[in-house]
Structure 1
Amino acid sequence: MTDTPVEEMSFEQAMAELEKVVGQLERGDVPLEDSITLYERGATLKKRCEQKLKEAEEKVAAITLDGDGNPTGTKPVEGL
């Protein structure tokens, strides 16, 4: 596991660590207490990935296109 707090991780960092956590849990060779800790870490990482994806989707949705289909900039997304 990395020392970077989950809330500061990029999508790529969180996804890479989540994949490691899932791999450890799937192997099944982790003691029960460690499995619980890993599961909790995985849930936190999953939430971070979902948050970063939502942010990206909102940015993409805010891009406006001109008549030729070229981006003209972004417009504010409601609620941000």
Structure 2
Amino acid sequence: MTSRKKAVDFEQKLNQLESLVNDMEQGSLTLENSLKAFEEGIKITRECQQALKEAELRVDMLTRDSDSPTEFVPEKD
């Protein structure tokens, strides 16, 4: 069930990022709000990159030739 929650969180993060980009592209934000949106976008991008990295490691682990599967435990920053 946790992996399903993580997948939903990833999709939600991508939607948030898309919304931020749309707001910034409209050009109606103040400089201060643009900077806040940019900062939030960077944070979301890093979270998405980390989720993708963990997914890639998990796929790699699952597709390796081995007799018994091992559970994936993501690294904490």
Using the size of structure 1 for normalisation, the TM-score is 0.69
Q: Which runs of 5+ in 1 are unaligned?
A: 1-8, 67-71
Aligned match of 1:48: 47
After superposition, where does 1:29-44 map in structure 2 within 5 Å?
Answer: 29-44=28-43
Check whether the contact 1:18–1:45 (CA below 8 A) recurs between aligned residues.
Answer: yes
1:75 positional shift = 3.4
After superposition, where does 1:1-80 map in structure 2 within 5 Å?
Answer: 10-64=9-63, 74-75=69-70
Q: Report the RMSD for the aligned CA atoms in angstroms.
A: 2.5
Aligned match of 1:6: none
Identity across matched positions, percent: 35
Higher helix share: 2
Check whether the contact 1:63–1:73 (CA below 8 A) recurs between aligned residues.
Answer: no
Residue 69 of structure 2 aligns with an amino acid whose one-letter code is T
Which ranges of 4 or more aligned residues in structure 1 deviate by more than 2 Å? Answer: 72-77
1:64 positional shift = 3.5
Residue 57 of structure 1 aligns with an amino acid whose one-letter code is E
> How many residues are matched?
66
Residue 75 of structure 1 aligns with an amino acid whose one-letter code is T
Counterparts in 2 of 1:65 and 1:33: CA distance versus 1, 3 Å: closer
